[in-house]
Each structure stands twice: as C-alpha cells, then as structure tokens.
Structure 1
C-alpha cells in the first residue's frame, strides 16, 4: 500500500467579532486540513495548528514536503512523519503534526479500530471540560454565569473561562460569579492568555485558590519558564502550559524545572499523536498530568479526544464551546457528555468520514476549500 494523493484544504468561518480574549477579537477562524489517500482507497485526515494571519506558511511547507509523501508506506506514521526534513518554526511542526494525524487515522481505519485503540489506549470514555467564558461585547457577569452554568447542565463537570483583559477586581468578580453559578463540585479552570506579570500571577494564584479553581493556564509569557517555576512553587493552584509550544526541548525544560502542574500541548503542533503520546509519558515520569488543548475544528478536536483515551496520564481534554467549528461532524458520543466524559468508542479512525468534509454547509457554519492537490 502506498500514498497516492494529497489534498490541502482550508476551513474558514466568518465570526461576528463580538467575542474576544485578552489578545484576539474573533472575526474569522481559519484552519488547515489535509487528506492523504492510499492505494487501497482509504483516506486519512489531519489538522495542524496555525497562526491565523500567517496560515499560508502552513501550506507552503506542506507543498514542499508533499512530494516526499507520495509513494510512501502510510502504515508507519512515526517513521514517515519523523523522517521529514527538519524545519525551524511553527509551520514545519504543524505540518508534521497534521501528517502524523492523517497517517494514524488511515492506519486505524485499515485496522478497523478507533484511533485511541490503535494508539494502544483502553479508555473508552474521556474526561473533558467545556472551554468558553470569553469576553463578549455587551455581555455582563450574570450572562457569563448563565453560559457556564449551561455547560454544567449539558453534562460537563469541568469548565474554563478567560481572565486577564480587565482589572483584577473586575475579572475576580467574573470568576467569583461563575464559581457560584456552577457550584462547588464542578472543576473550574482559568486562562490568562499569557497576560499577567509575575507579581500579578502570584496574587491571582492565591485568590483563585480561595475560589476553588483547579488550574491557571498561560499565566505568564511563553518564554518565562523561570517565572512559571516560581509560580508553581509559591502559588496556590497548578500552572498549565504551554499550548502553542512545539519544541521538544522546551517541553522537557518545563518538566525539568518543575514549571507546570499540568503539561499542556496541542496535538496539531507538538508532532501529532506519535509525539503527543511521548509527551504524556514524559509528563507522567515527572509526576505531572498532561492535558490536550484544542480550539479549532472537529478534526483536531477528535484527535485530542482520542489522545485522552490513549494514555492513563492524559487528564481532562479541552472541548471548545466557542470554537466549535465542524462539530456537527463528530459522532454523537463525542459531542454529548455524560458525567463529564465523552465517548471515543465505536468509531474507526478519528470518527470523521472524509467525505463529510465535502458536504454542503450552511453559510454561518463555515466552508472548506481544497487549495491544491497532488497525485502519484
């Protein structure tokens, strides 16, 4: 069996711009998706992380390495994706991750198994948290509390919200009202989107502990590992980082320096399922839980959920309620939580049929365009 065709696709969806976080106002969401087709007709799909304003860099890198994939054996994901020429920067890492994901999807389908099983996992249900709580124009704390309580009513037992854009008093009030709305048994995480300084992060950590918050994501700039180590040591809630990292040596440094209480990664950037499994195991060796991050389409969401079922050290998986792009393509068990968990059982591969990406879509749900394709 050989890879005979590659297609580069782009998902895009226009958003209102009313929702924002401390660094981004969401007027559009774009995501790179690829398809690999083998000589036996099986197609694997993968998605890579991307910088929204520089998504072209992903496709330029993919076009460069695509000829190396044609004619290759797709049943060796680790060997094939790991054998691609090295490239500095996020685009090379994201392309390698998407290729690895598509290869694993293809392999699992050929074996007639779900991706998590093909990866060696045995967990059929995966703990998740509902990710939302963005800032929205005209939306006050009460409406935010209603939003987050609504996720609990849907069956989630963990939620995440944003902080870091308003004054400490205003944001603290937002966290407090959410805690009251979701009750004491629901896990609450907050994401500062790298906007705090060391003193502010330490204050937040101690105040968040008083509200029973389970973790503080991205409290400091990505490169302030020393500051995160201080915060993990002196603060009162676990530090969660680092979703936009792709360099193995940085993940290793975060663990070695005890800078995180939860190691976060994006399977569409860190090296795909192959490398993500290794990261989860490395975190376990340091006594740290790993948590997959996701804020793109259903392809990346499905891969993140399967990673959650592939290793016992994978903690809660992010399930995004704002970036819910293409979520209608997910199997029902991967959309509707029961007791805080989603099911990764009873599917083959990722659980998303490649042909479903070609189905007509309503204008407000986004579109998928094939940018170019190559065939052997």
Structure 2
C-alpha cells in the first residue's frame, strides 16, 4: 500500500482574459488554489479549484490548517473515504463555498494521482461515455457588450463549429435584454443555440416576466434566474415557462441538487466540480441527473469539465471560457466545434510550474510532510 507523504499548497492569481460582467458582479481576479500530493512511490497528483475575486486566502488557511495535514499517511486510493472524512472534519463550516472549494482542490489531486498511476485519462477512469462534447461560448456574451458585438462573436463561434453562445441578461429593462437576444437570433437563425444567464439577478416576478418575453426566441435555457437558495421560486418559475431552467454553479451539496431535481425546479444541471467539492461528488450529481433524464452542462473550468462531461452519458455541453492557457502546457483540443477529451493520464491539466511561480501569492505557499509543515 502506498502512503501520502507530502502535500504542497500554492495560490495563484489569474487575471481575466477579457472584461467580464454579469447582472451582479465583475470578475476582477481568479484566485486559484493548487494542491500537489506526492505518494510513497514518488507519484504526484495535482488538483485545483478557484474563486472569483476573493476568498483564496480563506481556502488556503482551511487547506493548510485543517485538511492537508490529515492526508499524511493515508492510502491515496481511498478517495471516497478521504473525501467523507475531510468533510466531516470540517462539518461545522459546511455546506458552503469555502469548504467545497478546499475539498475540491484535494479531491481533484487524488483523482489526478489515481489516473496517472493507472496510466489512463480521467474520462476513461470515471466512465468513458464519449470522447468529445459540443462547445458553447460565454466569453463574448458579457452583460456590458452591445448587440452588434454579440452578433459578431456568435458568428465567429458558429464559424468554428460551436453549438451556441451564452449571453448574459439583467439589463435594467426587459426590452434591453430582448433587443440583444433578438439581434443574435435574427443574425444566426433558428438552428443556433442561445443560452442566457441571469446570475441570480431577478426576483420571481421579474424572472417570470422576462421568461415570457423571451419565449418567442426559443432559448436553450435561462440560467440562475433567481437566488440559488430559492427552491420554491424555481419550482414556480419552471412550471410557468417552456424555456428550460438551468441551475447548479451555486449549489454546494448533492442533496441540494436532489431537491431541485425531485421537485421539478430545473431542467438542466450545471454542477461545477470546484463548487460541489470535487470529482467524487460531481459524478454522483451527474448520475442522479441521468436518473431524472436531465442533461449535465457543467459551469466554467472547461479544461477539467471536458473529461467529466465525456465520462457520463448525459454530458451535453462544455462551456468555453479560456483561463488556464498561460499556466498549463496542456490546452483544450477543439475539433469541429467539440471539446475533445484528453488522452494523457490524469485529469488533463498539466501545469507549467515555472509560469505558476510568476503569478503565485508566495505567502500562501506551504508544504506539509509527516511530523509537521514548512
């Protein structure tokens, strides 16, 4: 039996590639915790998660003070047992974003190690349902972008073979949102998918109003129309519109997803591997969604989600938001508008640690070994 002998913690700060705005926030930074786990054979697995603008230092303290020390001496193959024991160790702070993001950084590192030691890519080890999934782009659809630019970006995406474009909604008046969406529909035609994302910005009455106004545009979905903890509101909205309702990036427990699916509060599951706490719970949510005949269209983290969307039979789309290109030697492979699953062993993210050093927050670095840390 191998044992975990060393855990290295790093935090890097990645600025957005373009200006990113939605109904409630602007993305000014992506603080990215990185965890490297070394076992007694000398094999290394690397995992990560992310924040949007704040919270990275809190995640690192949780990792360094409470979670990573518990890994020393453990059998890295016992991924499920480790996940459950770590979650219980911090049960007073769960369920929530900080805990989930910390657990995800460890869990993805353990899966990376597991896959590398088997000599197989994640999408095969986790299920192997398909070797590619269609892409849609979000990068050209931010809320501040005007209609003409939305159209230009969507036309370019279609030329690359992408299945659709996501456009942020939440302008002050429904007419503004409608005009932007209608311009894209008019220019791209009926066969191009238009996804929308409200980022929890509406009240129920406003979401109902806008869903009714958008019905003629045949949207692929309305994402996060209401605050994520408003389960009843999502049920009522879903019952009032034929447009699919998508949720998931702001849900942090498999039980939250169960409630949404069981009560008919959503049609599309957007479970995020970082915000659900790692690959281990992500797969559980995806398989539960299959039982409800719901597709999985994961949020963000395309470099990792391509493998997970390919692992399960109900993976439908991968969201194109490039962010790690400058810090990795691996890059998302795109063929005819589809994201192709990586073929190399591991989770499919190969870090360029020389580049990581240039963006790291040095005071967050920590190494945990048997007997203490340094």
* TM-score in terms of structure 2 length: 0.89
- Are 1:208 and 2:214 matched, yes or no? yes
CA-CA distance at 1:235 after TM superposition: 0.6
Q: State the SS of the aligned residue for 1:269.
A: coil
Q: 1:26 matched to which residue of 2?
A: 27
SS in 2 for 1:245: coil
Deviation at 1:208, TM superposition (A): 2.5
Unaligned residue ranges in structure 1 (runs of 5+):
295-299
Which of 106, 116, 119 is the aligned partner of 1:109?
Answer: 116
**Mean alpha-carbon deviation: is it higher for 345-354 or for 228-237?**
345-354
Task: Quickly say closer, same or farther: Cα 1:45–1:170, change in 2 above 3 A.
Answer: same
What corresponds to 2:365 in structure 1?
371
Helix, strand or coil: the match of 1:189?
A: strand
Change (3 A) 1:347 1:17: closer
1:52 equivalenced with 2:53 (yes/no): yes
Q: Distance in 2 between matches of 1:15 and 1:345?
A: 24
Contact 2:30 2:51 in 1 (8 A): no
Tell me what 2:132 maps to. Answer: 125
| d(CA) in 1 for partners of 2:100, 2:137 | 27
Comparing 85-94 with 253-262, which one deviates more in the overlay? 85-94
Over aligned residues, Cα RMSD in angstroms? 2.2
Q: CA deviation at 1:204?
A: 2.0
What residue ranges of structure 2 are gaps of 5+ in the alignment?
Answer: none
- Whether 2:265 is the aligned partner of 1:265: answer no
Question: Cα distance 1:275–1:229, how it changes in 2: closer, same or farther (>3 A)?
Answer: same
- 1 or 2, which has the higher strand percentage? 1
2:168, 2:99 → 1: CA distance? 29
Runs of 4+ residues over 4 Å off in structure 1: 15-18, 366-370
Select between 162-171 and 251-260 the one with higher mean Cα deviation. 162-171
Matches within 5 A, 1:149-298: 149-294=155-300
CA distance in 2 between counterparts of 1:35 and 1:326 reads: 19
Cα distance in 2 for partners of 1:219, 1:127 equals 24
Q: State the shift of 1:290 in Å.
A: 2.0
Residue 234 of structure 1: CA displacement?
A: 1.3
Deviation per residue, 1:278-297 (Å, 9 max, x gap): 11111121222222111xxx
Residue 260 (structure 1) shift: 0.2
Q: 1:353 to 1:53 in 2, by over 3 A?
A: closer
Aligned-residue offset at 1:143:
1.5
C-alpha separation between the residues in 2 aligned to 1:119 and 1:211?
Answer: 37
What SS does structure 1 have at the residue aligned with 2:67? helix
Give the distance between the partners of 1:36 and 1:291, measured in 2 at CA.
29
1:340 matched residue in structure 2: 337
Distance, in Å, in 2 between the alignment partners of 1:346 and 1:327 is: 21
Do structure 1's residue 72 and structure 2's residue 104 form an aligned pair?
no
Count of aligned positions = 361
